[in-house]
């Protein structure tokens, strides 16, 4: 199973428009990938926003639609509320990913929440894991190729990841935006069982264990694993001391907890966040933890560390 680049990470909220506006205010993302897109098949409302080398899906259940709370996104929101939801990666062959996951005894879920029926997917059909088996839900999807400027113009930018367009550069956010984002640093999953986490992300997904460490700032024991082409996943077991990670694990169990962006200057990043009404609950020399109360319930981190 060959995992490529990160497709997106999902930030779920109750109403897409306010979170979209918050991203514009705090990050000034690149838009035009997918904006204010309602999909009746999943009864969801979503946008894709690009910040440096990362894409975040701003996602909300379509609460105006009858039966929204019976759909997978609606069920998640009803249980967890505002939170990070899942991680999606590009793969060259979704069928190959399906075979690999099934060979390791993992369930595969199809769009709309349909359970695996032994039908091998093909083409552009995305697949999903069961969050209880992979600590958070994972999506694997095929990336539509870009065939040049004419193809892009003909489709008016729909469904084309801007990071693969000719001339794309993520450097603008580091060089010109006051937050100074250089890249996505890592995605944090909290877990009570680091051995299970290592098995899933190293043995099953083929990730590379980069390092093990302990953080007094986040009060966690951590494994940093490179998954796919460039995504670093931090697998974190919280200490017994009070922390955002401990609170999340105690409330919800294993799940995607936080997203960290690498910035050029931590003091400048903190000034920008505070100017935009985002408080800081803790920081050290290299990393700050934004207040989830000011970031639509999802913990964000900003770091100058590697």
Domain-embedded: residue 21? yes
22 and 114 part of one domain: yes
What does residue 201 show for φ and ψ, rounded to 5 degrees?
-90, -20
234 and 288 part of one domain: yes
Domain-embedded: residue 160? no
pLDDT in tens, 190-215: 999 999 999 999 999 999 999 999 99
**How far is residue 213's CA from residue 211's CA, in Å, rounded to a whole number?**
7
137 and 182 part of one domain: no
pLDDT in tens, 210-266: 999 999 999 999 999 999 999 999 999 999 999 999 999 999 999 999 999 999 999
223 and 124 part of one domain: no
pLDDT in tens, 3-38: 999 999 999 999 999 999 999 999 999 999 999 999
Confidence check: pLDDT of 147 > 70: no
Domain-embedded: residue 29? yes
110 and 200 part of one domain: no
181 and 138 part of one domain: no
119 and 188 part of one domain: no
Domain-embedded: residue 162? no
What does residue 72 show for φ and ψ, rounded to 5 degrees?
-55, -45
138 and 7 part of one domain: yes
Look at residues 120, 142, 164 and tell me which one is the last residue of a structural domain: 142
Domain-embedded: residue 163? no
pLDDT in tens, 117-139: 678 887 788 999 999 999 999 99
Where do runs of H (alpha helix) occur along the chain?
16-26, 72-80, 94-103, 131-134, 149-154, 172-175, 194-198, 244-252, 266-275
Which residues contact residue 283 at a Cβ distance below 8 angstroms, ignoring those fewer than 6 apart?
A: 217, 266, 270, 289
Pairing of strands 3-12, 83-91: antiparallel
111 and 18 part of one domain: yes
Domain-embedded: residue 250? yes
Distance of CA 103 to the CA centre of its chain: 25
Q: What pLDDT score was predicted for residue 144?
A: 74
Domain that holds residue 108: 3-142
Length in residues, the chain: 306
**260-282 burial: b if 16+ Cβ within 10 Å, else e:** bbbbeebeebbebbeeeebeeeb
CATH of the domain at 35: 3.10.180.10
Percent of the chain with pLDDT over 70: 94
Domain-embedded: residue 157? no
Contact 8, 48 (CB under 8 A): yes
Q: What pLDDT score was predicted for residue 114?
A: 73
Look at residues 142, 164, 185 and tell me which one is the last residue of a structural domain: 142
Global confidence as pTM: 0.94
Number of domains in the chain: 2
Domain-embedded: residue 31? yes
The angle formed by the CA atoms of residues 168, 171 and 175, to the nearest 5 degrees, is 145
């Amino acid at each position: 199973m060959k995992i490529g680049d990160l497709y997106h990470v999902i930030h779920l909220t109750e109403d897409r428009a306010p979170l979209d506006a918050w991203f514009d205010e705090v990050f000034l993302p690149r838009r035009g990938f997918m904006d204010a897109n309602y999909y009746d098949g999943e009864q969801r409302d979503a946008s894709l926003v690009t910040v440096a080398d990362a894409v975040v899906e701003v996602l909300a259940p379509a609460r105006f639609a009858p039966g929204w709370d019976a759909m997978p996104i609606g069920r998640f929101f009803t249980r967890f509320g505002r939170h990070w939801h899942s991680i999606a990666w590009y793969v060259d062959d979704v069928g190959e990913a399906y075979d690999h996951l099934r060979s390791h005894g993992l369930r595969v879920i199809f769009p709309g929440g349909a359970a695996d029926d032994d039908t091998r997917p093909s083409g552009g059909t995305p697949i999903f894991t069961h969050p209880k088996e992979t600590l958070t839900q994972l999506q694997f999807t095929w990336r539509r190729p870009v065939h040049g400027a004419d193809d892009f113009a003909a489709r008016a930018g729909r469904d084309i990841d801007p990071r693969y367009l000719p001339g794309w550069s993520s450097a603008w956010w580091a060089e010109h935006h006051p937050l100074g984002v250089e890249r996505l640093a890592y995605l944090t999953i909290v877990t009570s069982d680091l051995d299970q986490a290592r098995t899933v992300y190293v043995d099953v997904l083929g990730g590379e264990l980069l390092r093990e460490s302990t953080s007094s700032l986040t009060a966690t024991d951590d494994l940093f694993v490179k998954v796919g082409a460039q995504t670093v996943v931090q697998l974190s077991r919280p200490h017994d001391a009070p922390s955002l990670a401990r609170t999340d694990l105690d409330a919800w169990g294993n799940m995607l907890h936080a997203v960290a962006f690498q910035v050029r200057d931590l003091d400048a990043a903190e000034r920008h966040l505070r100017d935009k009404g985002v408080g800081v609950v803790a920081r050290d020399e290299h990393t700050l933890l934004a207040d989830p109360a000011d970031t639509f319930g999802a913990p964000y981190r900003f770091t100058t560390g590697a």
